[in-house]
Amino acid sequence: MSAHTNDVVVTGLGATTPLGGDVASTWSGMLAGRSGISAIEEEWAAGLPVKIAGRLKTEPTEVLERVQARRMDRCEQIALVAAREAWADAGRPDVDPERLAVVIGTATGGALTMLGQDDVLETSGVRRVSPHTVPMLMANGPAAWVSIDLGARGGAHTPVSACASGAEAIAMGLDLIRLGRADVVVAGGTEACIHPLPLAGFAQAKAHSTRNDAPQQASRPFDTDRDGFVIGEGAVVVVLERAGSAASRGARAHATLAGAGVTSDAHHITAAHPEGQVRAMRLAVTSAGLDPLAVEHVHAHATSTPKGDLVEAESITEAIGTHPAVTATKSMTGHLFGAAGAIGALATILAVRDGVIPATQNLDTLDPEVKLDVVAGQPRHGRLTAALTNSFGFGGHNASLVFTPAP
């Protein structure tokens, strides 16, 4: 039996993002360098210092059945949309329900429901509060809805690790299969929290860009003129299974999930520490059985904050080296928080599959402290033997994933 039979491969991809309502439109948007960031025109943003966001290109209510959608928070809706696309892309594997697991990460869960229903309570009283409030606001809601929709009885899990949540979910999916606890795992991340309170909070923390007059140029990772991230919303889901089972049913594998590394800084609630990031990358490369020199591409977390981008650049240099081609797609989508690691995984999987790395946008002048080969201008073409994607979150959460070509 070939050693490749036990590799864990990605057979399904699903997405709904600021660049498109599915994987194909999201990927074509990245390769074309399109921006999904726009001005917030609603009245509620009038008094805010931040008036820009990366909003969904396609409304989930246009895809889901109306009655069902009304009983779900926006983050649950989009997780289900992405999961259904991924499941269909995987060919709807015929798997024992007790061997099918779901892992969907999120940073804030049903924040829109919680904040919205609190407003209802304050203004209209308890009788106007929706009876669906609790299942709509709970962070495990997206994983629960996906498990119900697919009939998955092998566990429905919810990593809540700030902006590393989506990547941690995929790492957990890898572990579940490697440990023999599941045969197929549907994993990813979801986030929908574009609301006055998060925008105000990030603005007060000086973490969000205030380039309101130029939304599409606001997110500029590694650029000398960066001034913070841009909030975004979206969901990305992948289907994981062993290469042998995928081959036996004639399913296409997009890429191999070769390794993962998850660490915590134990340092500061918001300030990242390079040591934790370095360990996550090294663990991911080691678990993939690779040498750092084999990693030819890094999809950086790179949120476009002045300090965060420099810490990551330093970490990549120490853990991997300066040889990989680096990109940062948040320049186009904004920062999807709990879904950031999942969309980073999507971009990395497709880069490995198609042999093309999307260019970082808005990189007019590379910060001289960044000693990396950052792809800018046009996408870079060429076969990749291994690629790594990073996700880091408040609280000191670090997650790195390594993808290689499908066997």
| Dihedral in degrees, nearest 10, Cα atoms 58, 49, 364, 311 | -100
Contact 189, 338 (CB under 8 A): yes
Contact 342, 238 (CB under 8 A): yes
As separate numbers, helices (DSSP H) first and strands (DSSP E) second, the chain gives 13, 15
> What's at 109, amino acid-wise?
G
Report DSSP letters for 165-228, one per residue. HHHHHHHHHHHHHHTTS-SEEEEEEEE---SHHHHHHHHHTT-B---TT-GGGS--TTBTT---
Contact 142, 378 (CB under 8 A): no
Our measurement of the distance from residue 122's CA atom to the centroid of its chain's CA atoms, rounded to an integer in Å, reads 34
Burial of 44 by CB count in 10 Å (0-12 exposed, 13-18 middle, 19+ buried)? exposed
**Which whole-number Å values give the CA distances from 320 to 74, 278, 279, 281, 325, in the listed order?**
37, 9, 11, 8, 11
The Cα–Cα gap between 333 and 65 comes to 27
- Say how many Å lie between the first and final Cα of the chain, rounded: 13
The Cα–Cα gap between 309 and 262 comes to 19
Contact 284, 206 (CB under 8 A): no
Alpha-carbon Rg for the chain in angstroms: 20
Strand partners, 399: 262, 391
List the structure tokens of 144: 């629960």
- Which residues does the annotation mark as catalytic? 163, 301, 335
